[in-house]
Every structure is written in C-alpha cells, then in structure tokens.
Structure 1
Amino acid sequence: MAKKYTMIINLGKCIGCQACTVACKFQNNVPVGQFRTKTPADGLKGAYPNVSLFFIKEACQMCQNAPCVSVCPTNASHYNEDGVVLVDVDKCVGCMYCLTACPYDARFINKETGAADKCTFCYELKVSKGEKPACVSTCVGGALIFGDLNDPLSEASQYMAKHKGEVRKPEFGTHPAVQYIYEGVVR
C-alpha cells in the first residue's frame, strides 16, 4: 500500500521555541537569512480572562493537489513515490512560477543554488531511512507528530483517530497533508 505521510501540529502544545526552525536549517543546510519552516506568533486572541497567544508552524503543506507542481515548466517540482512534493535542483531554472502558485508562501529561491527550495519532510535525509523529520525529533513541546496515515499502527494514525485536525486554506482545494490541532487554543 502507498504511504500517505502527514505532519500533525498541535498548536496547544507549541511553545514557539523555534527548535524546529533551527533543526531544519542545520539538517538541510539552509542559507543564512532563509527558512524552510518558521513558527511566528499568531497574535493575542480572545478577551480577558480567556486570552491566548499561539504559534503556527509555517512550511510546505505537502498538498495532494499542489499548484507548485502543476505550474512547473521543467518538472523540477514533482511528487515522489510516497506523494511527497520535492524539488529537483538540477532541473529547476529559478523561474519562480512555483513561488507565485503556492498559496502558503512556503517556497523561496535558495540564494546559494538558485533553485526553488522548501520543506521536504526531510524525506531524502531521514524519512526514506525510517527516521522522523528533524523538526519533529527536536520538538521540545511534543507539538509535532509525523507518520503514515495509511498505517493504522503509526503514531500519526492513532493521534488523528482521537483528534480533529484542520488544514490551512481549504478553500484552495490543494488538500494539504499537514493537519493542525487547535485543542486548548482560543481563536
């Protein structure tokens, strides 16, 4: 059976420490001043005494209907055998069509390679070897969960069976693989 990878982000557990951002930069050799993932504060929500501040991890949403893939003139942006959206830097011409097409602002042109760059779920470096993405393995708050939804025994499948997830910008019809859990968050 094909894999269906997901990343689950429990916003009620994220403390905004940026360990995921640092781990990603280190693991993927991301140039100074550029980021594959970031975790900005979403701002204060609610009214006294029910006020909250939460953080939303922003990165590639690994869309099943990815506009970045469909607009790429060289097929540099593509799905791999496990449905993960990747960029072949040898095929990328830096046209930026994918940057414009991405409704999540999750891509950038790597200033060292000149190619489009983004989160890959650390597929090549970790996931293909049975390991978790760098951001997940370093999350001190336990806010990030990763796994194969087609495997009923995976942590991700078991977690989603007990929690209601939401995707960002569902109106775009991109069908993201990243799920957000808002339990305990005032919004």
Structure 2
Amino acid sequence: MARYGMLIDTIKCVNCYACSLACQTQNGLPDDENFIYFLEKEEGTFPNVKRDFLPVQCQHCDEPACEEVCPTGATYKDEDGIVVLDNSKCIGCKYCGVACPYSARVQLHDSMYKKGTYEDAGREYNYTVEKCRFCKELVDNGEQPACVTTCISNARIFGDLDDPESELSKAIVEKKAKPLRADLGTKPKIYYVR
C-alpha cells in the first residue's frame, strides 16, 4: 500500500487559483465554497509591496486530530493513509472542524451544492462535515488529484511518501520542503516549499 502525500511549492505557485476551481468542479461545490483556501499576507508599502499566498487544505495527517474526536468513527484513514469521511456515519456535530488545526473542514447542506457532481461520486452530503479527500475517486483509478493536474505552474506534486524513488519523496528532500505546523504532532502529509 502507498502512503500518499503532496508537495506544494509556493515559489512556483502563480496564485491563479486553478487548483481551487478544479476542486470546486471535481466536488460539485458552489462558487463560494472550497476545500482549498488561501492565506494571504502583504508586507511593505507602495511601491515596495510583497504579497505571499499559502494554499491550505486538509493535510491528511498521519495522526489526524479530526479522527480522534469523531464520536461515530465517520472520519478515518484509508489503507493508503488518505483521511476520508464515511458520510453515512457523519452526524454533522463539527467536532472534527473544531479539532482540525488547519481549518480544513466544511459543513455541507442541500442548498450549497450543484446537483449531480457530488452525488455522481457516490457521496451523500446533507449536513456532513467534508474536506479534501485527495480526489480519492481519481487516485483509486490511477489518476492524480484534480488540483495537481490543473496546476499550470506544476507547483503541486502528488505521490507515495513511502517510496524513496517517487518524484514526491525526491522533491521533498531536494527542495527541503516542510509540513505546516509540524509542532502540533499531527504529522501532516502535505509539504511546502516557501
């Protein structure tokens, strides 16, 4: 089995939001909702202004705080280490959203969704607290997550963290990529180049 992870190179990222739009489309999300959000920071004064962008999503932690607090076992790690949700068990309590240090959970309800896409993927969504699933339905078919294939600057790399020969593993070492808030002990599996 693989242990999937991702690298996001914020130096290569052109802040076009294509990853976010691909996520919306893949998941049938409305225009004002997404499983990927951007932290933005502006420094300096005109004309010497610098803006930094940091795309954030579920970090697919090896020790996910959201799984630990879920009272029904709806949130769990699958055999490939992807943190997923069993919508039939989710009671919409939002404990996972509160526990997640990355604010990566979104509560879904009928009025939010473009009919079709989400249901076509075989998921129910009424009041469940969803998140990025690394496009599990694509990955299970040997494809890459939508955010990776859509990235125009190739700032995202997806792969097996346990394979030292994978493009992902090599890039993490070569680029000295680091996870967000490793100090929290959740062992996130998305690495950033900053």
TM-score, normalised to structure 2's length? 0.86
SS in 2 for 1:39: strand
How far off its partner does 1:42 sit?
2.8
After the TM superposition, list the runs of 4 or more consecutive aligned residues in structure 1 that deviate by more than 6 angstroms: none
Matched, 1:100 2:98: yes
- Please show how residues 169-184 of structure 1 align to structure 2 within 5 Å: 169-182=181-194
Q: Give unmatched runs, 5+ long, in structure 1.
A: 183-187
Q: How many equivalent residue pairs?
A: 179
Larger displacement relative to structure 2 (113-122 or 36-45): 36-45
Distance 1:168-1:45 versus aligned 2 partners, 3 A rule = farther
Distance in 2 separating the partners of 1:37 and 1:103: 14
Q: What whole-Å deviation, never above 9, does each CA across 1:30-59 have from its counterpart, x for those lacking one?
A: 23422111234232379x86x632211110
Mapped pair 1:122 → 2:135: yes
- When structure 1 is superposed on structure 2, of 33-42 and 13-22 the one drifting more is 33-42
Q: TM-score, normalised by structure 1?
A: 0.89
CA deviations 1:122-176 (Å, max 9, x no partner) are: 01x2111111100000001111111012223321122123111111112211000
- Unaligned runs of at least 5 residues, structure 2: 111-125
Q: Percent identity?
A: 39
Superposed CA RMSD: 1.9
- Note the C-alpha offset of 1:80: 0.4
- Any residues of structure 2 matched to 1:26-175 within 5 Å, and which? 26-44=25-43, 52-112=50-110, 113-123=126-136, 125-175=137-187
One-letter code of the match for 1:15?
V
The aligned counterpart of 2:113 is none
